[in-house]
Amino acid sequence: MLTFILQRLLSALLVILGVISIVFLLIHLIPGDPVEIMLGESATTADREALGVALGLNLPIGLQFQNYLIGLTQLDLGTSIHLRRPVSALLLERLPATGLLALVTLIITLTLALPLGIIAAVRRNTWWDTGAMSFSMLGVSIPNFWLGPVLILIFSLWLGWLPVSGRSGLASVILPSLTLATGLIAVLSRMVRSSMLEVLGEDYMRTARAKGLPPKKVILHHGLRNALLPVITMLGLQLGALLAGAVITETVFSWPGIGLLTIESIQSRDYPVVQACVLLISVTYVLVNLLTDLAYAWVDPRVRLGSGH
């Protein structure tokens, strides 16, 4: 098990290093000069050169990358070019909003996906099954950048029930959470259905029914509990993707989280902030996947045995 853990940790570190390198290169290669954005087109050449030297942007890109990696080893994410504040402080300010969005999204997802998947499996080949799976297919097909404005149009502008954008209370988190949850519900409900269909035909399910147990207890206590392992795995993978999806959703709803900070930093060519945001998202994604792998290997020893350890 120790070798399995070390292998996964090494793979995670390599992935994170790869992401850091690619993002650093891409953000420096895209058109646009942060110095020019800060000073404007009317600035003199001397002013631009002075600011470039002050920000370290005059150094060769290789040396800039080296300094960036050295800073990471010291847990120093740098200073925002435009706001002149530590990047770590900016991230800490935005994390609670993204955390709240992710939590509410997860609650909505589990509340809807589990019943949909169970009903579709128990009522297989009926209109219940067809309706639940059609809803799932619709959820996968609708992109967040289209669903978000539609929800704003209906529930904010037409009905006036919920805020249009921003973070102004618990009501303001409903629409962005629904936008994010739709795709997760679609994927998770299909996984629950598939897993439940495999479990329903097992001998222990027939034994439970033969003992005269109530159908609800047979389904939930015996069926769902044994069907949850692949569902938990899928949920872990989807949680990793949640932060990436939040970039679009937070932008649509002007939700003051990490996603919106990423877009704002890209627009202003604020290299340190962009790198830190992408690093945070990628590290979270990798860590969630790593924990999912380890949990799966702990529950099912065949996973680590299959890797030769």
Six-digit token pair at 231?
């569902």
What whole-number distance in Å separates Cα of residue 79 and Cα of residue 59? Answer: 16
Six-digit token pair at 241?
């993707």
Per DSSP, helices labelled H in 85-224 are: 87-122, 127-141, 144-151, 174-200, 203-210, 215-217
* The residue to which tokens 């069907």 are assigned: 227
What whole-number distance in Å separates Cα of residue 212 and Cα of residue 208? Answer: 7
Express each pLDDT in 208-243 by its tens digit: 777 777 777 777 766 777 777 777 777 777 776 676
Per DSSP, helices labelled H in 123-143 are: 127-141
Query: What are the residue ranges in the chain where pLDDT is below 50?
Result: 305, 308-309
Express each pLDDT in 4-24 by its tens digit: 677 777 887 888 888 888 888
Instruction: End-to-end CA distance of the chain: give it in Å, rounded.
Output: 7
What whole-number distance in Å separates Cα of residue 150 and Cα of residue 162? Answer: 13
Three-state DSSP at 86 gives strand
Domains of the chain as residue ranges with CATH: 87-306 (1.10.3720.10)
Q: What is the pTM of this model?
A: 0.79
Task: Give the pLDDT of residue 309.
Answer: 47
Task: Give the pLDDT of residue 266.
Answer: 82
- The angle at the Cα of 64, spanning 62 to 69, to the nearest 5 degrees, equals 95
Cα 73 vs. chain centroid, distance in angstroms? 25
Task: Give the pLDDT of residue 290.
Answer: 77
Cα 232 vs. chain centroid, distance in angstroms? 16
Task: Give the pLDDT of residue 4.
Answer: 67
